[in-house]
Amino acid sequence: MSELVPGGNLPLPGGTVTVRVPGPFDVSALITDDSGTVRDDGDFVFYNQPSAPGTRLDGATLVVDAGALRPGATRVTVAVSPADPGTPLSGLPSPVLEVTGVGGRPLARFRPPRPGEEAVLLLAEIYRRGEGWKVRALGHGYADGLAGLARDFGVDVVDGEPADTGPAGTASHAPLITRPTTARPRAAAASPAPPAGGAPRRHGAPDAEGVLGAVNSSRAEGGSPPVVLDSRLVSAARAHAATMAAAGRLGVETRDGVSVYQRVVAAGYAYLTIGEHLVSGPRTPAELVAHCLRNEPSRRTLHDPAFLHAGLARAAGGPHGDVHWAAIWARPLSPDGLARTADDVIGLTNRERARAGLPALGADPLLTAAAQAHSADMVARDFYAHTAPDGSRPRDRATAAGSTRRTVGENIACGQRSAAEVVQGWMNSPGHRANILRPEFTHIGVGFAGGGRAGTYWTQLFGG
């Protein structure tokens, strides 16, 4: 096996190559041609989009089949970032890239210089040289995270879509870099559409081995109301904990390709907001609660007053017999709750417009119907994009809903757990901000759906 230094390269054998970065990291990859730019957002492989032709991402492991890359692709650049967005790379062990060939044969390893202020580090590139392929060690990074990385490779870092300027206009492409802020690891396979809401089933769920009492005691100390067990959430938690324990690995997505959010909606629980603690190690309810209180983001989730119901489970297994916990917190979906959430998004959007001296947007029921349908469709058909699998785009959806607005624009986002969080995220992105502050827009519709890969899917559809 070769130990690479920055700039060093090594010829690769034929067949698939596996790149792994063990530790608390997220791995990403960008597929480019010789110009070093992507063709479209489908060339960016990361936690919310874990596959592309010739590449497949599973946690910290990227499998590359160079012969199956999309036509014209000549390079796969591998990057790493902290799995916990609040932790700097400088606060983690130095990442080590391991490259193996067919059958797991070790090929190369690269330990870059210890990161400083960088939030994302380029580790290596797999590139074509003549008729063969090589791997080259890199080791430089970006202080502004995945956004800076993606921009340099030609990805438009907005979930929003600039306005279509009318029937003769064209809407430019705008992709999908939104990491779930409170979610832990990554995405999963397709899930069923969320079922209709309804009264939660609060009976028939055991006390989850005494955890509920410790949880509610802590919530009371934090000034939050108690949560009650819901049998559907308990069922989802049990399945997720057991699958994590069997693999000896924590994750929002387990190795069977199912996310905790998919388990929740498949169990029959449609939610308005959701949170989770996926933990290994604690052996008692008190230890679990102490673990959940160890930092501010985790504490906020445990004490969030919005949550009404819980699903709690633990399972032991894996190579070391560790105890794996799945704690799910949720508030059920209701028509009134959905309407309030949409109103909150509109109110916060109009507050930003007022600060810019712009008139408020009016709620449009036709745009609302189209936006809600798109959010639900992204969950049901397991995609995250402005262009749906059937080829429909924002203007098509608005027209199908009966809207005759001449100008249409769209913002989308996934993973945010509140109206305030999603609007703030949009305002922090130039493309989204431009849509929100576009003077030509006069009306808006908002859609929200829970489930799927990221847990929550948001749509703003603008018209003017």
The pLDDT, as a whole number, for residue 200 is 34
pLDDT per residue as tens digits for the range 267-317 = 999 999 999 999 988 888 888 899 899 888 889 999 999 999 999 999 987
User: Contact 276/285 with Cβ under 8 angstroms?
Assistant: no
pLDDT on residue 410? 95
- Token pair in block for residue 31: 């597929």
Span of 49-53, 275-279, 389-393 with lowest mean pLDDT: 49-53
Distances (CA, A) of 201 to 267, 268, 292, 306, 458: 11, 10, 26, 18, 27
Q: Which residue has the higher pLDDT, 206 or 406?
A: 406
| Residue 66 pLDDT > 80 | yes
What pLDDT is recorded for position 211?
85
Residue keyed to tokens 């924002």: 394
Strand partners, 12: 133
> Which segments of 258-321 are extended strands (E)?
271-280, 309-317
Query: What is the spatial distance between Cα 278 and Cα 182, in angstroms, rounded to a whole number?
Result: 12
Q: Predicted confidence band at 196 (pLDDT cuts at 50, 70, 90)? A: very low
Position 84 pLDDT exceeds 90: no
Stronger pLDDT, 459 or 47, i.e. the higher one:
459
Closest CA to 267 of 313, 201, 324: 201
Asked whether residue 437 carries a pLDDT value surpassing 90, the answer given is yes
Say how far apart CA 110 and CA 125 lie, in whole Å.
12
Highest mean pLDDT: which range of 28-32, 92-96, 228-232, 442-446: 442-446
Question: Mean pLDDT across the stretch 86-95?
Answer: 78
**pLDDT (0 to 100) of residue 188:** 29
The sheet with strand 443-451 has its strands ordered as: 160-164, 408-414, 455-463, 443-451, 362-363
Please tell me the predicted confidence (pLDDT) of residue 144.
57
Residue 43 is given by DSSP the state G
Q: How far apart are CA 158 and CA 146, in angstroms?
A: 12
The pLDDT of residue 99: 94
Residue 57 reports pLDDT greater than 80 = yes
pLDDT at 359: 97
For residues 145 and 179, give the distance between their C-alpha atoms in angstroms, rounded to a whole number.
Answer: 11
Please tell me the predicted confidence (pLDDT) of residue 169. 30
* pLDDT bracket for residue 253 (50, 70, 90): confident
Provide the percentage of residues in the chain whose pLDDT is more than 70: 84
Which two structure tokens, joined as six digits, stand for 196? 């209709």
- CA dist., res. 126 & res. 279, Å (int): 35
376 band by pLDDT with thresholds 50, 70 and 90: very high
Residue with tokens 């624009």: 409
Would you state the pLDDT for residue 283? Answer: 83
Task: Quote the radius of gyration of the chain (alpha carbons, Å).
Answer: 23
Q: pLDDT grade, residue 117 (50/70/90)?
A: low
* Highest mean pLDDT of the ranges 136-140, 165-169, 203-207: 136-140
Nearest CA to 81 out of 136, 31, 145, 16 is that of 145
Please give the C-alpha separations between residue 138 and each of 79, 90, 169, in angstroms, as whole numbers.
10, 17, 42
pLDDT at 167: 35
The pLDDT of residue 26 is 86
- Write down how long the chain is: 464
Instruction: Name the residue type at position 284.
Output: T
Mean pLDDT of 258-273: 93
Q: State pLDDT tens for residues 139-194.
A: 777 665 666 666 667 665 444 444 444 433 323 333 334 333 333 333 322 233 33
Which DSSP string do the residues of 105-123 spell out, in sequence order? -EEEEE-PPPPSS-SEEEE
Indicate the helix (H) or strand (E) that contains 103: none
Smallest CA-to-CA distance from 302 within 281, 277, 324, 271 is with 277
Angle of the 296-303 helix axis to the 211-221 helix axis, nearest 10: 100
Q: What local confidence, expressed as pLDDT, does residue 23 receive? A: 84
The residue-averaged pLDDT of 40-60 equals 84
pLDDT at 152: 66
